[in-house]
Amino acid sequence: MPENLLKGKLGIITGALDENSIAWKTALKAKEQGARFVLTNAPIAMRMGAINDLAKECDTIVIPADATSLEDIEKLYSEAKEYLGGDFDFILHSIGMSPNIRKGRSYGDLNYDWAMKSYDVSAISFHKMMQVAEKMDVMKEWGSIVGLSYIAAQRVFPFYTDMADAKSLLESIARGYGYRFGKLKNVRVNTISQSPTKTTAGTGIGGFDSFYNFADALSPLGNASAESCADYIVTMFSDLTRMVTMQNLFHDGGYSFTGISEEIMDKFKDL
């Protein structure tokens, strides 16, 4: 394994809820590769308590922040900067939530207040985190910002309902802000489109087991795990990917470009 890919780098990691979270695995890998960072999550997630164990393991602190609140983000950045002793080289946005999915509403029966909440939490918060970072000028030159997406942004997955629209918006924001931050400070902005992954956000989606198994059978490499996603995020934070920006990067074992696999064909034989 390469060593010290993130040596001397400072950053912010959002979204570590429990040990299954993509952000949790990323924190452990980032620490292993020499980064120093602050952990953050919504105040409500803090009540679960697990994030404090992760903070101990990563030798850092947790600063609660609702990613939809500009004031919370400002407070997060100023406290993190003080704690870390410098501006940030990386930010991970690993945040997603849809009240419509939680409450089982179909795409033709969305509650629009909840849909707005889905877009705000899962997509616009990405813009807010970057806009505040720009205004407070807390990103270092050649820094890297990553958000997490899903292929429902491009193709229809009926059970993904308003989260599909949120992910399209998230990916669009990565392009829009990637251009802006690139011009301003050579900061790159990308989304990583991850395989279905067994986390709290993932398994909350109706029919998760079926599409997890389907994706696994379709992808030549099988589904990408949360741990391998964390490896990819670390490379995106490292200096090895300095010219990659405004991209939606598929991290899905080949799923997005596979039409059909032998395993799936076998299931449809002699129907």
Return the half-sphere exposure (C-beta side, CA atoms, 13 A cut-off) of residue 83.
18
DSSP, residue by residue, the chain: ----TTTT-EEEEE---STTSHHHHHHHHHHHTT-EEEEE--HHHHTT-HHHHHHHHTT--B----TT-HHHHHHHHHHHHHHHTS-EEEEEE-----HHHHTT--GGG--HHHHHHHHIIIIIHHHHHHHHHHHHT-EEEEEEEEEEE-GGGTS--GGGHHHHHHHHHHHHHHHHHHHHHHHHH--EEEEEEEPP--SHHHHTSTTHHHHHHHHHHHSTT-PPPHHHHHHHHHHHHSGGGTT--S-EEEESTTGGG-S--HHHHHHTTT-
Instruction: Check residue 30 for interaction with ligand NAI (CB under 6 A).
Output: no
Least spacing, CB of residue 154 vs ligand NAI, in Å = 13
Instruction: Check residue 138 for interaction with ligand NAI (CB under 6 A).
Output: no
Among 12, 21, 35, 101, indicate the residue that binds ligand NAI (CB under 6 A): 21
Residue number with CB closer to ligand NAI (149 or 245): 149
Is 260 labelled as part of a ligand binding site? no
Give CA–CA dist 64/81, Å, rounded. 15
Part of the chain binding ligand NAI (CB under 6 A), chosen from 26-34, 54-62, 95-103, 230-238: 95-103
Closest residue to ligand NAI in the complex (CB): 202
Instruction: Check residue 13 for interaction with ligand NAI (CB under 6 A).
Output: no
Instruction: Check residue 60 for interaction with ligand NAI (CB under 6 A).
Output: no
Is 21 labelled as part of a ligand binding site? yes
Instruction: Check residue 96 for interaction with ligand NAI (CB under 6 A).
Output: yes
Identified catalytic residue from 77, 112, 119, 160: 160
Part of the chain binding ligand NAI (CB under 6 A), chosen from 65-73, 82-90, 108-116, 180-188: 65-73
Q: Can 255 be counted among the known catalytic residues?
A: no
Total Cβ atoms within 10 A of residue 242: 12
Is 15 labelled as part of a ligand binding site? yes
Q: Can 160 be counted among the known catalytic residues?
A: yes
Least spacing, CB of residue 153 vs ligand NAI, in Å = 10
Least spacing, CB of residue 220 vs ligand NAI, in Å = 19
Least spacing, CB of residue 237 vs ligand NAI, in Å = 16
Annotated binding site for NAD(+): 15, 21-22, 95, 167
Residues at the interface with ligand NAI (CB under 6 A): 14-15, 17, 21-23, 41-42, 45, 66-68, 94-97, 121, 148-150, 194, 196-197, 199-202
